[in-house]
Amino acid sequence: MPDRFALDRIGQIHVAARDLDRAVTYYRDVLGMKFLFQVPNMAFFDCGGIRIMLGVPESEKFDHPASILYYTVADIEQAHTELRQRGVNFVSAPHKIADLGAKELWMGFFEDSEGNTLAVMCEMASKA
């Protein structure tokens, strides 16, 4: 059977921004993401090879919160501490989500400058 076409790689994720300059400052300076470029009504960041596009919604249809983006970090407690020092308001501090045997899945949730929910996540060795 010949290989069948399948979607298998995300190239870009759109995040709605009502105030683009405020959002660019937040993603670049507070979250420390790599800024790529900005054009009218859009700004682009690199996130491990996937582009995050902050964009002013073109119409009411697109004016809604983004899906939750989960950023993988090596040390969730360190990420939590550093992001809080930069002014990030966590709505849920890092906590264990699941015991995966030899590892535990931890997540912490926060909102960006535009009210979108974001998260940091980490798989770490079980403490048990």
Residues 58-96 as b or e (16 or more Cβ within 10 Å = b):
eeeeeeeebeeeeeebeebeebbeebeeeebeeeeebee
User: pLDDT for 97-114, tens place per residue?
Assistant: 999 989 999 999 999 999
User: pLDDT for 42-96, tens place per residue?
Assistant: 999 999 999 999 999 988 888 888 899 999 999 999 999 999 999 999 999 999 9
User: pLDDT for 7-40, tens place per residue?
Assistant: 788 899 999 999 999 999 999 999 999 999 999 9
The pLDDT score that the predictor gives to residue 8 is: 83
Q: Which fold has domain 12-125?
A: 2,3-Dihydroxybiphenyl 1,2-Dioxygenase; domain 1 (3.10.180)
Instruction: Using alpha carbons, select from 69, 89, 88 the residue that is nearest to residue 15.
Output: 69
Q: Locate the domains of the chain by residue range.
A: 12-125
Query: What pTM did the predictor assign?
Result: 0.85
